[in-house]
Amino acid sequence: MADDSGLQAVRREVARMRQDYETRIQELESRLAQAETRSNTATTTADEAKKVAQQAAASKDGAPKDTAGAFNPSVAVVLNGTATAMKRDPGIYRVPGFALGDAAKPVDRGFALGESEVTFAANVDHTLYGALTLSLSRENTASVEEAFIQSSSLPWGFTVKGGRFKSGIGYLNEHHAHTWDFADAPLPYLLMLNGQYGDDGLQVRWLAPTAMFVELGMEGFRGASFPADGTAAKGMGAASAFLHLGDDIGQGGEGGSWRAGISHLLTRAERRKSNSDADTFKGRDGLTIVDALYKWAPDGNFTERYVTLQGEYFHRAETGTFNDLRDESTQQGYYAQAVWQFMPRWRIGARHDRAWNSDVNAELVGTTLDSQGRTASRQSLMLDYSTSEFGRFRLQGNLDHSADKPDQQVILQYTVSLGAHGAHAY
């Protein structure tokens, strides 16, 4: 509470400094006015403050102690677009020997909005993290790609995630499309997982307390996504387990770093539709994935130059009925790719994909699962330029021998990130 002498001191200070500090006059006069106002309203303010304090004390026990994250989530937008030239219509894409899901097709022909995303994420409190990712399609539809909560402070290296999320199987599966090194998914992912596998479920990970990276994980899913389907009403239609290992090579990682893993996804299908609902599968699907990744940069400086080698092998066994015919087919596939950043912001890459179906039994000869001795393959080359860590332009060429007839494809892609964006996985 200011007295008269205090107010006079402020007035003298204003008069003394007016000539040399003209720009501060308004500030000092404002201080003077505030002091006079406080002198007249101190009693009223004290009463109001007492009421506020009483209300805060009454609600203290039921309110979160840290609500900043709840009211201020980070918002990230990823814009992705393509311009593609190809001979074949991607809408009638068929691969002999494989029953395909609804999203298993090449990049859209012509100018197209790719998979663009909007993500909201925040720490709920000191124990939980939450994220919601909406995917926007060229058809002007929005879908929930991921929506989950995840623990952030469990002891003994455990992490629990629940909701809708991408499975931790393989390497590329849980990476969002805008982080890929090529504009499209490798053939094994496209043909066996409908691009990527994600579903509603629960995940438990354990990180070993060792110098070497050792991670174990288990998941249970609703069973609503390809290759599972029709089992959601029964509670759990899919389950997976995975092991990931990794370490640096040499002292301080001067020889690079590596990661390897093995995963298994087991799904059940009651009425899985494929190839535009022309085919139906009922039974069990067991998919095993072995993945490996190697990264190296001179002197460990990944901003200048680096090399990345990456590959995954898929083995899938199905047991059940296909269009009411006995099905015990086995499918395999792999991809191998190399990416070289030869100067800052510029990269080139090459990728080779293959996928094939084993010989089917006599009942399935002439059906979709009969590959007629053909092997699906594709070769890709890409060159991309990053304007920064938030923008990238890519030129990619594919020689695609996966369908009945070969196709030459040229893809021009842009990917930009707006707003806060979390770090990507290794």
- Residue 215 pLDDT exceeds 80: yes
Measured CA to CA, the distance from residue 175 to residue 170 in angstroms comes to 10
Average pLDDT over residues 213-242: 89
- 261: number of CA atoms within 13 Å, CB side? 28
Q: What is the pLDDT of residue 50?
A: 47
- Residue 20 pLDDT exceeds 70: no
- SS3 of the chain: helix, strand, coil, percent, to 5: 20, 45, 35
Q: What is the reported pTM?
A: 0.82
Q: What is the pLDDT of residue 423?
A: 62
Q: What is the pLDDT of residue 359?
A: 78
Q: What is the pLDDT of residue 207?
A: 97
How high does pLDDT run on average in the chain? 85
| C-alpha closest to that of 194 among 272, 78, 85 | 272
Query: Which regions of 275-359 does DSSP assign to beta strands (E)?
Result: 279-296, 306-322, 325-327, 330-343, 346-357
Measured CA to CA, the distance from residue 42 to residue 44 in angstroms comes to 6
Would you place residue 217 in the very low, low, confident or very high pLDDT band (cuts 50, 70, 90)? Answer: very high
- Residue 129 pLDDT exceeds 60: yes
The residue type found at 410 is V
Q: What is the pLDDT of residue 31?
A: 58
Tokens of 407: 């196709």
**Higher model confidence: residue 237 or residue 15?**
237
Would you place residue 358 in the very low, low, confident or very high pLDDT band (cuts 50, 70, 90)? Answer: confident
Q: What is the pLDDT of residue 42?
A: 42
Would you place residue 422 in the very low, low, confident or very high pLDDT band (cuts 50, 70, 90)? Answer: low
State whether the Cα torsion 6-12-13-18 is positive or negative: positive
As beta bridge partners, residue 96 has none
Q: What is the pLDDT of residue 49?
A: 40
- Greatest mean pLDDT among 9-23, 39-53, 317-331 lies in 317-331
CB neighbour class for 100 (10 Å; exposed up to 12, middle 13-18, buried from 19)? buried
Tokens of 286: 């067991």
Q: What is the pLDDT of residue 69?
A: 44
Domain with CATH 2.40.160.10 in the chain: 77-419
DSSP H or E run through 370:
none
Percent of the chain at pLDDT above 70? 81
3-state secondary structure of 74: strand
**Burial state string for 208-245 with b = 16 or more CB within 10 A and e = fewer than 16:** eeeeebbbebebbbbbbbbbbbbbbeeeebbbbebebe
Would you place residue 362 in the very low, low, confident or very high pLDDT band (cuts 50, 70, 90)? Answer: confident
Q: From residue 368, how far is each of 93, 216, 280, 352 by CA, in Å? A: 13, 37, 11, 24
Residue count (the chain): 426
Which superfamily does CATH assign the domain made up of 77-419 to?
Answer: Porin (2.40.160.10)
As beta bridge partners, residue 341 has 306, 347
pLDDT in tens, 268-314: 998 888 876 778 999 999 999 999 999 999 988 888 999 999 999 99
Would you place residue 154 in the very low, low, confident or very high pLDDT band (cuts 50, 70, 90)? Answer: very high
- Residue 1 pLDDT exceeds 70: no
Would you place residue 53 in the very low, low, confident or very high pLDDT band (cuts 50, 70, 90)? Answer: very low
Q: What is the pLDDT of residue 56?
A: 44
